[in-house]
Structure 1
Amino acid sequence: MDSMKSPLARIGLAIAVTAILVVIVRDRLDARDLSGWETLAAARVDGLTAEELEQVWIEVDGTSAEPWAGYYLAMQLYTDGTDLDRAHQVADSTIRAFPGHAVAPMLDDLLAALDSYSPGA
């Protein structure tokens, strides 16, 4: 009977440790995701330049705020009109990374606008 308790106790301990690790990892991922949204929210309130939005886009990489940061950056570059190639690159890479995301239709529209742009027209 003692030989049965030992393997069962080890399995129980392994399950408990795994559950604790899952909770810790999930909590850290949630905190990182929240931090990404806080960074993006501060950027939108502050009215950052394209250069500053580029840094925000890098900071929120891997969070659920990333596609929105890419959209805001691409739109700012488009609005500024100083680096339309970069606007196209950002919009294209964002839509490729997040094709089914809520920003995808807006990025499609932006890409269409950028593709139709011709200097001097």
Structure 2
Amino acid sequence: MPLVSPTADAALLLLLGVTLVAAGQLSRRRYTRLVEYGERTRGTVVAIQGQGDDRLATIRFTTRTQQKITDLVYHSAYTVGDEVPILYDPAVPSHYAIGEGSPLGFYGLTIGGGWLVLYALWRLVF
């Protein structure tokens, strides 16, 4: 006997799918705001932790208002002293992208969540 009914299974998949679609759309909104209103600056790699492909780079940049932002990012190709292009949201400078950013994250979340929603609905109907 299954621990969870097929209807409960489908309901959980539906909830997960809707959550992924919502996360994808929030990510899209953040990316669009960054592209439309973001400001450009240069960041510097100030430290590297780890080895090989599991390296974390500490990136530091200064905003137009002289606020200093320091963050860890996964990137195995950086070395200490490298300069990287930064695009940041002046309203929330901790929201930034290295380079131009990429919309691929929200596409993946939205499409994956959409497929889960469709599958859950199919399970509920059939």
Q: Which structure is higher in strand share?
A: 2
Q: Which has the larger Rg?
A: 1
Q: Larger relative contact order (C-alpha < 8 A, sep ≥ 6)? A: 2
Same fold, TM-score > 0.5, yes or no: no
TM-score, structure 1 length as denominator? 0.36
Q: Which structure is higher in helix share?
A: 1
TM-score, structure 2 length as denominator? 0.35
